[in-house]
């Protein structure tokens, strides 16, 4: 919405018009009453301009009517330029170009008709005088319209700049949220599996110590040490993404680490059968990491919730994509019992455009089946 309050420039313009008209009246001279009436018109012309921003067309029409009345009363000549030009400028500057042009044309027509009726030289009136006045009003209207266009352009540029800044802020917030979710998912997968293995191995070590089985206790402690070492490596890689200039980062685990993962779970007391087929060397790193995390979370859930005695992990790479299936022989149960891990699996798979199915296996137990588009897999 445009501001309609008079500005400092409007006040200065009003003072200037009043001063110019008053100076012309004083210079012409005449009877005091006539000069006083002309002076009142001068003040009126200036006062009208103070409302030019609120009602520009009304002010322009009133100014034109005032000029007609002024000359009809046979007051000292002041020309059309000063009072009318200012009103024309304000009307054009407020976007009323057509109205300004129409009023200017009508006023020029009245002025020419009056001068011809008074017996002025038609050649002079229709030539130099009309031409100069027409050029003046056209220039004034063009100036007002140019000022309006420039102001509108600046406003539009500011609006676009504000919109771009807001979009950058929203994009930065989206990126922060996405990174937060990614880090949370990495920490959940990494710590969840490690804590599950450590808890089981701690229980094994406790029983072995109670039974005096030193070798078994030593094996459990060794497994705990290996798991903690691995989880620290992954934590450093994950947290490294949060630090600027963190240097070389550890590569994310992929299909090549599935053997070590299965072996660690097997040592924790849950035998894992791993079957890998197809040309896994051609699987993109991001797909391999996603497959690793799916297997890791599925094995963690089997350790925590399933009460299983055996788990089978099948990974098959083909030109159509990568298929990952993890089936345990535990008690199965609702998906909601598996915590946030399955939600994290679904997010990872969705980011790659794959599909994930998790639920009770046909022959009992729990089954996780993921299909991932592998791109470069052969």
Position 81 confidence tier, pLDDT thresholds 50, 70, 90: low
What is the predicted pLDDT for the residue at 202? Answer: 78
CB proximity list for 219: less than 8 A, separation 6 or greater: 267
Q: Of 275, 80, 183, whose CA–CA distance to 88 is shortest?
A: 80
Domains of the chain, each with CATH number or no CATH: 8-120 (no CATH), 172-245 (1.20.5), 255-373 (3.30.565.10)
What is the predicted pLDDT for the residue at 9? Answer: 75
Q: Is the pLDDT reported for residue 252 higher than 70?
A: yes
pLDDT digits (tens, 9 = 90+) for 28-76: 777 888 888 878 887 887 788 787 777 888 888 888 888 788 778 877 7
Rounded-to-integer distance, Cα 15 and Cα 26, Å: 16
Residues constituting the chain? 378
Mean pLDDT value of segment 188-197: 68
Q: Is the pLDDT reported for residue 248 higher than 60?
A: no
At what angle are helices 285-301 and 341-351 packed, to 10 degrees?
160
What is the predicted pLDDT for the residue at 247? Answer: 47
Mean pLDDT value of segment 226-241: 68
Rounded-to-integer distance, Cα 201 and Cα 269, Å: 8
| Count of Cβ atoms closer than 10 Å to residue 67 Cβ | 21
Torsion over CA: 112, 114, 117, 118 (sign): negative
Q: Is the pLDDT reported for residue 295 higher than 70?
A: yes
Position 378 confidence tier, pLDDT thresholds 50, 70, 90: very low
What is the predicted pLDDT for the residue at 370? Answer: 92
Pairing between β-strand 355-360 and β-strand 321-328 as defined by DSSP bridges: unpaired
Contact 299, 342 (CB under 8 A): no
| Count of Cβ atoms closer than 10 Å to residue 169 Cβ | 10
Q: Is the pLDDT reported for residue 124 higher than 50?
A: yes
Retrieve residue 306's tokens.
Answer: 């399933």
Mean pLDDT value of segment 192-201: 70
What is the predicted pLDDT for the residue at 130? Answer: 73
Contact 265, 223 (CB under 8 A): no
Phi, psi of 64 (to 5 degrees): -65, -45
Rounded-to-integer distance, Cα 260 and Cα 144, Å: 79
Q: Is the pLDDT reported for residue 280 higher than 80?
A: yes
What is the predicted pLDDT for the residue at 36? Answer: 85
Position 375 confidence tier, pLDDT thresholds 50, 70, 90: low
Retrieve residue 222's tokens.
Answer: 């060794």
| Kind plus residue range of the DSSP H or E element containing 312 | strand 311-318
Q: For the ranges 79-93, 115-129, 230-244, 257-271, which has the lowest average pLDDT?
A: 230-244
């Amino acid at each position: 919405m445009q501001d309609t309050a008079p500005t400092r420039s409007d006040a200065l313009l009003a003072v200037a018009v009043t001063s110019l008209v008053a100076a012309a009246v004083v210079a012409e001279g005449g009877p005091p009453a006539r000069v006083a009436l002309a002076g009142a018109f001068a003040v009126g012309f200036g006062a009208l301009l103070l409302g030019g921003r609120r009602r520009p067309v009304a002010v322009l029409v009133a100014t034109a009517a005032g000029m007609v009345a002024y000359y009809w009363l046979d007051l000292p000549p002041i020309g059309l330029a000063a009072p009318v030009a200012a009103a024309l400028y304000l009307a054009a500057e407020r976007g009323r170009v057509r109205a300004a042009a129409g009023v200017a044309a009508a006023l020029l027509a009245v002025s020419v008709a009056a001068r011809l009726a008074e017996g002025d030289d038609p050649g002079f009136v229709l030539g130099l005088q009309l031409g100069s006045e027409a050029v003046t009003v056209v220039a004034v209207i063009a100036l007002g319209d140019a000022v309006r266009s420039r102001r509108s352009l600046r406003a539009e540029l500011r609006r676009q700049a504000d919109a771009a800044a807001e979009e950058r802020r929203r994009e930065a917030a989206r990126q922060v949220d996405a990174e937060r979710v990614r880090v949370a998912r990495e920490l959940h997968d990494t710590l969840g599996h490690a804590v599950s293995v450590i808890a089981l191995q701690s229980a094994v070590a406790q029983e072995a110590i109670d039974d005096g089985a030193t070798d078994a206790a030593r094996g459990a402690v060794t497994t705990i040490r290996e798991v903690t070492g691995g989880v620290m490596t992954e934590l450093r890689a994950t947290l490294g993404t949060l630090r600027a200039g963190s240097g070389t980062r550890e590569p994310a685990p992929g299909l090549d680490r599935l053997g070590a993962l299965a072996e660690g779970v097997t040592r924790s007391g849950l035998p894992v059968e791993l079957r890998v087929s197809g040309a896994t060397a051609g699987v993109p790193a991001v797909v391999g990491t996603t497959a690793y995390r799916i297997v890791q979370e599925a094995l963690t859930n089997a350790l925590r919730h399933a009460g299983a005695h055996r788990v089978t992990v099948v990974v098959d790479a083909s030109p159509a994509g990568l298929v990952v299936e993890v089936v345990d022989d535990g008690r199965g149960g609702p998906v909601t019992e598996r915590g946030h891990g399955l939600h994290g699996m679904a997010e990872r798979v969705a980011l790659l455009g794959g599909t994930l199915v998790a639920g009770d296996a046909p022959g009992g137990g729990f089954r996780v089946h993921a299909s991932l588009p592998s791109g470069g897999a052969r």
